[in-house]
Structure 1
Amino acid sequence: MLNRKLLREWRQLFWQSLLIVVISTIGIGMFIASYKAFLSLEDSYDYTYKKMNFADLQISTTEDPSLEINKIKNIENVGHAEAREIASAAVLIEDKKDLGKIEARVVAIGDNQQINKVQLLQGEYLSERKESILVERHFADAHNINPGDRLTLSGLSDTLTLEVSGIISSPEYLWVAKDRSNVMPSPNEFGVFFVEQDVLNQLGQRISSYDVVIDSDDVEGIKGEVLEVLGKFQVIDVIEKEEHISYELLKMDLKGFQELAYLFPVLFLSISGFIIFILLTRLVDKQRPIIGTLRSLGYSKRQIKWHYLQFSLILSVIGGITGTIVGSFLGGKVYEIYRERIGLPFSVEEDYLYLWLIGIVFSVSIGALAGYFPARKAANLLPVEAMRNSLPTKDSKFYKWLMKRIDRYIKRLPITLIMLIRNMIRNIFRYGLATFGIAISISLVFTTSGLLDSVKYMLNQQFDVVENYDLSVVLQEPIEGEKFKESLLVDGVENTEGVLDIPVTVSVEGKAIQTMLRGMENDQDQYRVFENIKWLNLSSDEIDIPKDGVLISKSVQSKLGIKAGDKILVTSALHKKERLYTVKGIINLPVGSIIIQNLSELNKDFMGSSEPMVNKALMEVSGNKKEIKEQMSEMENVMTVHDNREMRTQLNDFMGLFNIFILVMFIFAIILATSILFSVIFINVVERKNEIATLRAFGYSKNQILRMFAIEHSLIAIISVILGIIFGIEGMLSISLFYNNDMLTFPLYINPISILLTIILFVVVVMIAQLVSQHGVNKINVADAIKVMDR
């Protein structure tokens, strides 16, 4: 009988120890994997930007500044300086004409390019083949384009057929973004190409802007002098490296990756420490007679303390070592997946051995902290007290103070409830710690499910609510609102609405941002405008477009630090006009940034037209999209046709790794929450064996005792769920801040179903835990327990 009891206790100790090792392995493994991937990506980005000499300063103008480039080169602290033309065009793939026209950005480059150098991935460079074209890799991959294929570029007046000489990667387009209002265009509908200036000139009349790109160690020092040289030109934008769309988005993505690499592992390891604390505390209580014997034989407090501290340290070391091995392997895999998705041309991946040291030290520190207090408790036991089977309870001053005030209110309750209340107050530290640990576990479940819900909400809001159209048609030249519907008549188009989009610069108090000014009417259904709910970044009621002001997206508001009622200066370099507007409201737009104005007023302010003009059509279609796009592409004034579904697919791909990461955390969070709840409930039953035996001896049935446990477990679960939801919301808010910028507005949303499922999950866990309690109560032999209590 004794051997069977010892075997059962050792078996329990083994499984609980294994649980600690597994949780430590998960926590350290997550940290090593995510942080190694982050470091590898950061080093690869930095090396790529340095190798390809990414511009430190980029200044866009409406006219060709190439004649002034030598003056800029002579400015002190300017390394290299180059001028180039960037043209908007349409591209037609010769073997895939059914795709129709695709929007193209064509960059002119020279033979001796020193800044923003392109990296050849396939084929050969332009200097070796005349009248050829280089294709950026994202577009080439999407359309399976290879060297030797032929593409046709279309300008405003002429077309030009070129042979693909090579596939390249550009530091400007590691993340392909069209502009700040469209930061994730689908490669199926937007591509970047590079040609020599002489070849671009053959395209004839075209819409172009010009860039001066500069490398310098003192950007702030040279900026004023460069702008002075370019003073006779209309400057559209001044962009430092950190403000470049591609660079900023990649760094934002890395920042979020880095923060997640800290957050979840710390929570996991904290729970691991909590379980170590519970396990060692129970072990010390069970081994009091052994401790008493050792103390009476002359073992010192230090030896006793070290004996129990070793237990937590050994488990933590094992978890730390296995976690670093697993995490290092997974980190390399995550990095390769991420690198392939971004398309980094250069790779820098190291072992980062110091991460191993950090991981092991981190794991051991958590274990040492959790094991110290039970070990100290064991060391401080006096031999006489330790040899006793149970210690007399010493009520704290807090317990006595509180019981004096509530005793008269609870004395009429059943004895089991009185015992429950007194026991919870007497052991308030233990119950508080248990509740906090379970709450942290619940917050992990809540945070991860909430983040998944937020991503889903963001996609639905952007593409099902705000952008309610199927196709958008970009026109080469604006056309009167009454005529554009007739010019775009195609079978299968159910509804067509026009908008006017103008690239603008918005500035206020020294801050500026590039965005899109959109003119539209109030009664439009294809693009709807909703008021933004502060902090949550959710959509409220649909908002009317004012005639005497503008509406701005939350991303623009965040960048400029303004609010409704403030004045903003809106400048159009294309039309060489500027207007001062009052902000009338903040709108919710998850992806991109935009300013909304009344269509008629926008035409008066910038187009100088009394008749509403539009340059973009938003369409609801019921026919075959592919056929409609093909017909539209052949129309004279049509530059390109976009399928809104492609944009959604692109955003889905972008959020794919994020969703996978969060989903894995969600699964681990459920495992942790279940583990800690079981640990607390199981140990709670075991530790109170004498109390249960006493109640049974006084005639209380097993059902009455189990009801007492059920109330206790339910109370812990309710408090834990409430705290867990509060912690979870705070966690969601913290993570959402990593991804909020002037191009992305991350919402704070959780589906009520997710809240319900979280609660149901823990109700199920409590019910199962109650079965564990029942099993423990049924196994208690009253006679044996009373005999042990009498010793």
Structure 2
Amino acid sequence: MALRKRVWRILMENKGRFIGIIVLILIGSFYFTTVTGVAGSLEGLVVNYANTNMQEDLTFSTDRAIKDIPTLEKESNALIEAYQQQDVKLSDGQSELRLLTPTSKINIPAVMSGKGLENPGDILLDPSFLQKHGLAVGGQIELNGKTFHITGTMALPNYIYIIKNLYDVLPTTGFGIGLVSNADMKMFSGTANEAVTVYGARFTNREDIDIQNTKLHSLLTEKGYSLSEWLDAKNNKRISMPRANIDSMQTMSLPVSIAFFLLSCLIVGVMILRMVKSDSVVIGTLYAQGYRRRELTQHYIAIPVLLSIAGSLLGILLALPCVKLVLDSMIASYILPNVSVAFSPLNLALALLLPLAFISVASFFSIRNVLKKSAVELMKGDEQKAKVNIIERSLRLDRYSFNTKFQIREQVRSIPRLLFLMLGVSAASMVLLYGFTFNSSMELAMNQGAVARYNYAIEYNFKEVQNLQKLPVPAGAEPYNSFRAYPKGREAIQFYLIGMKPDSVGFKIKGLGGAKLSRNQVNITSPLAQRLGITVGDTLTFVNKLDGKSYSLKIDGIVEAYGEQEMYMPFDAFNRMTGQAPGSYRTVLSNHVLHYDERLLAGIMDARNPKAFEDMNTTTTLIMAATTIVAALMAVVIIFIVTSLIIDENRNTISLLKIFGYHRREVAKLILNSSTPIVFIGFWLGLLLMLVFGNYLFGYIADSINMLIPMSLNPLYILISLLSIFVVYEITKWFCGQKLTNISMSEALKSGSE
């Protein structure tokens, strides 16, 4: 009972220090609970939605209707279903609605509010379009002179992320989707913009989807169908966007949280060790009174156990309401039914038990060497005395002034505290630098990446291969041909092989360091070359993802690029190699608007207005803001704990210095400024750790989203990070320094009398 009371007394005497530890544990537990909660909820929602509503594995169009779908389904071991789609302009002349017919086998619609289609003239709209256009369930909308009754809102598995065309980058302003009956769709026949037939396929065997895609493509080709808009779900942004978010969160949740927990372990371990050493005489007395080692171990372990439980529980409780907010913000661009938060009991248990296990084990090993000594040894008080170690003896401090010797001894006589401060500052610096580096890298990718490399800013992608003889390209525009490929045996790495005219100027292509590079040869972008580990002179064997044909090309040059994964070769050689007719092309780059029939186009990208891509930086800004806040909080907590430890351990010394006539500012300089070199070293160690961590993380991103973002370390951001760490250090040190005033000169005299 007496020992139990002492636990609370220790906690109350060092409130600030223990609150700091709770905050660090809270951050780790909060992060783990939030990220796993969001990822788990999103995964459950997306996966269940995809399976329940039979999300397609690929989408494609043909030049004519497929005659015998049941036979094709048996041959390809897939479900195949056709649906109609037609784009209709609204009366404002700017907004556009894509009307789709309902399906029953694949991409089954999910009604989110109201009721489904029951009568002719009924329509279901996506909720985003409904809200942005001021419409309401039960209201009406006029399309091509016909009035439709809005019966409800719906979601479609193949339109989770609503973009107009398969190869679009961003959603088109004012664009949405609507569901109407087949009878209503027929009413639009004969209009200028005819309805088109699109097919979706879902394989019954859920393994080796890519191989089955290639097989289905071959079957249709053999039957004489000309295919267009052939795109699998993994590369279809309408489907793949939320899955990419899930993968990134799941991968980073556990490592980042464990890093916080391990840092907390180090802090608690150092504090408990110093507490036990300072209590050595008390422990010896308790041994003499009959207390056993197990009881004293439980007594001192109780403190870290209480801290870890308090921190992890607070982190979990704070995370619970935040998960819904984060989830809602993440899916604001997605159309998903039944958005609800689902927490895994296992993840909640891990958020509570991981810090408890780590910190308890660290504390146990910290105190066992002290507690295993005899009562007589402990009562001598040797554990409280500062010991001269081998580092201090090797420094030959007699050469230095008193102030310098004092500050050096202050550090080397407490190696655990020194390591804790250095690693803590390193962790805070690493988090802060990573936020800035991620921001800098995304800025580089956006400002000098694919969009910035267009000399001709408008890109027209066609559904089917065109030919220069039938559809010539006007002046100020250039034809390109391409297909998606992957290196043989490495399906995860996908890139585009692009055929371009030798005199093409639509793309900015330059060699490494800005060197001139011929377009009449095979060139590869530097990010792709880096991922594949190849250089000039090497031969790359790759496979056309569409038809499974294999090709080999010798690399003649490397293009300086910032994230793009592409290969370039001469236009005519591309068509000869792939067996296409001379003059075949799939894409046109233009420096002015071209008036193509929209029914021929699969998508248009306009890079003339960079503001259209600003929304893509929102996530980057949030990441940088979050990491900056976390880094600052970590730095404050760690520096506060170390500084308060330094003051408590030197109370007698501070008292003596005051007796000798030192002013408070001079005492603060001697006691507190001794840690400044360690903070400086910790920052640069954090920079090195960030480079290692950043390379790993950027490599993971490359594998998960098939894009190698160049890691850019801006010297200005390094300087800002260094100044930020030292500003936090100086402010925290100033606040802790106020405790020096409360230490009286009589403490040294009391210590001597004892």
Task: Check 1:211–1:273 CA distance in 2 against 1; reply closer, same or farther (3 A cut).
Answer: same
**Matching residue within 691, 695, 698 for 1:736:** 698
**Matching residue within 646, 660, 663 for 1:684:** 646
- Structure 1 equivalent of residue 521 of structure 2: 548
- Structure 2 equivalent of residue 461 of structure 1: 448
Contact 2:422 2:681 in 1 (8 A): yes
- Say if 2:183 is the partner of 1:187: no
Aligned partners of 1:752 and 1:454: how far apart in 2? Answer: 13
- Say if 2:166 is the partner of 1:175: no
Task: Check 1:123–1:36 CA distance in 2 against 1; reply closer, same or farther (3 A cut).
Answer: closer
Q: Which runs of 5+ in 2 are unaligned?
A: 1-7
The residue type paired with residue 95 of structure 1 is S
Cα deviation for residue 744 of structure 1 reads 3.6
SS of alignment partner, residue 502 of structure 1? strand
Task: Check 1:185–1:636 CA distance in 2 against 1; reply closer, same or farther (3 A cut).
Answer: closer
Cα deviation for residue 666 of structure 1 reads 2.3
Cα deviation for residue 568 of structure 1 reads 5.4
Contact 2:462 2:600 in 1 (8 A): yes
Deviations 1:73-109 (A, max 9, x none): 3349x3x52253788x8x452322257xx7x9887x5
Deviations 1:330-366 (A, max 9, x none): 2233223333432112445434344332222123223
Cα deviation for residue 447 of structure 1 reads 1.7
Deviations 1:386-415 (A, max 9, x none): 44566475858xx43x566553xx542224
TM-score by length of 2: 0.79
The residue type paired with residue 478 of structure 2 is V
The residue type paired with residue 202 of structure 2 is I
SS of alignment partner, residue 80 of structure 2? strand
Aligned partners of 1:578 and 1:361: how far apart in 2? Answer: 52
The residue type paired with residue 116 of structure 1 is N
Task: Check 1:127–1:733 CA distance in 2 against 1; reply closer, same or farther (3 A cut).
Answer: farther
- Say if 2:246 is the partner of 1:254: yes
Contact 1:459 1:648 in 2 (8 A): no
> Mean Cα displacement is larger for which, 768-777 or 25-34?
768-777
Matches within 5 A, 1:118-133: 118-121=109-112, 128-129=119-120
Q: Which runs of 5+ in 1 are unaligned?
A: 1-6, 153-159, 487-496, 533-539, 620-628
SS of alignment partner, residue 709 of structure 2? coil
Cα deviation for residue 247 of structure 1 reads 4.2
Matches within 5 A, 1:114-513: 114-121=105-112, 128-129=119-120, 148-150=140-142, 168-176=154-162, 182=168, 184-188=169-173, 196=182, 202=190, 211=199, 213-217=201-205, 219-220=207-208, 223=212, 226=216, 229-230=219-220, 231-233=222-224, 245-347=237-339, 349-376=341-368, 379-380=371-372, 382-387=374-379, 391=383, 393=385, 399-400=389-390, 406-407=395-396, 410-462=397-449, 465-467=452-454, 497-506=476-485, 508-509=487-488, 513=494
Task: Check 1:420–1:116 CA distance in 2 against 1; reply closer, same or farther (3 A cut).
Answer: same
Aligned partners of 1:736 and 1:356: how far apart in 2? Answer: 28
Deviations 1:690-715 (A, max 9, x none): 45566778898877765554663121
- Say if 2:56 is the partner of 1:52: no
- Structure 1 equivalent of residue 637 of structure 2: 675
Contact 1:62 1:573 in 2 (8 A): no
The residue type paired with residue 517 of structure 2 is D
SS of alignment partner, residue 171 of structure 1? coil
Task: Check 1:756–1:522 CA distance in 2 against 1; reply closer, same or farther (3 A cut).
Answer: farther
Deviations 1:108-127 (A, max 9, x none): x5x66301223345788779
Fraction of identical pairs, as percent: 16
Cα deviation for residue 375 of structure 1 reads 4.1
Contact 1:65 1:83 in 2 (8 A): no
The residue type paired with residue 481 of structure 2 is I
- Structure 2 equivalent of residue 93 of structure 1: 89
- Structure 1 equivalent of residue 82 of structure 2: 84
Aligned partners of 2:550 and 2:525: how far apart in 1? Answer: 17
Aligned partners of 1:326 and 1:712: how far apart in 2? Answer: 37
Task: Check 1:635–1:365 CA distance in 2 against 1; reply closer, same or farther (3 A cut).
Answer: closer
SS of alignment partner, residue 517 of structure 2? coil
How many residues align? The count is 730
- Structure 1 equivalent of residue 73 of structure 2: 73
Deviations 1:437-471 (A, max 9, x none): 22112212222232233333333334873347766
Contact 2:499 2:569 in 1 (8 A): yes
Task: Check 1:468–1:253 CA distance in 2 against 1; reply closer, same or farther (3 A cut).
Answer: farther
Task: Check 1:698–1:297 CA distance in 2 against 1; reply closer, same or farther (3 A cut).
Answer: same
The residue type paired with residue 186 of structure 1 is P
> Mean Cα displacement is larger for which, 431-440 or 200-209?
200-209
Task: Check 1:173–1:747 CA distance in 2 against 1; reply closer, same or farther (3 A cut).
Answer: farther
The residue type paired with residue 760 of structure 1 is L
Contact 1:252 1:738 in 2 (8 A): no
Task: Check 1:280–1:170 CA distance in 2 against 1; reply closer, same or farther (3 A cut).
Answer: same
Cα deviation for residue 716 of structure 1 reads 0.5
Task: Check 1:382–1:145 CA distance in 2 against 1; reply closer, same or farther (3 A cut).
Answer: same
Deviations 1:650-704 (A, max 9, x none): x554553564355223202211111101211221233134455667788988777
TM-score by length of 1: 0.76
Deviations 1:546-589 (A, max 9, x none): 2122444746985x786554345687989x99986544445566
Task: Check 1:97–1:599 CA distance in 2 against 1; reply closer, same or farther (3 A cut).
Answer: farther
SS of alignment partner, residue 591 of structure 2? strand
Deviations 1:475-505 (A, max 9, x none): 997779x99777xxxxxxxxxx523243524
Aligned partners of 2:486 and 2:27: how far apart in 1? Answer: 48
